[in-house]
Structure 1
Amino acid sequence: MSLIGEERKEYILNQIHSEGKVITNELVEVLQVSSETVRRYLEELEETNKLKRVYGGAVKINRSREEPSHLNREVLHADEKRKIGKAAAALAGDNEVIFIDDGSTTLQLIEHLLDKQNLTILTNSIPALDALIDYKNRELYCGEIFFIGGKVSSLQSRVAGTLAEKMVEQFYADKAFISIDGIMIDKGITSFDEKRGQLARKMMEHARMNIVVTDHSKIGMVQFYKMANLQEIDVIVSGVPAPEDWEDELEQIRVEWIVSE
Structure 2
Amino acid sequence: MLYRVEGIVIRSMDYGEGNKIVTLLTNTNGKVGVLIRGAKKVKSKHGSLSQPFTYGEFVYFRTSGLGTLNHGEIIESHHLLREQLDKTAYAAYIVELTDRALQDDEVGNYHFEQLKACLSAFEEGKDLQIVAHLYEMRMLDSAGYAPELDQCVHCGNVVGPFRLSPYAGGVLCSRCTGKDPFAMLLSEGAYKLLRLFRRMDMRRLGQIQVRPETKEELKVCMRKLMDTHMSLQLKSRNFLDQLDKLSPPE
Fold equivalence (TM over 0.5) = no
Q: What TM-score does the superposition give when structure 2 sets the normalisation length? A: 0.29
Q: What TM-score does the superposition give when structure 1 sets the normalisation length? A: 0.28
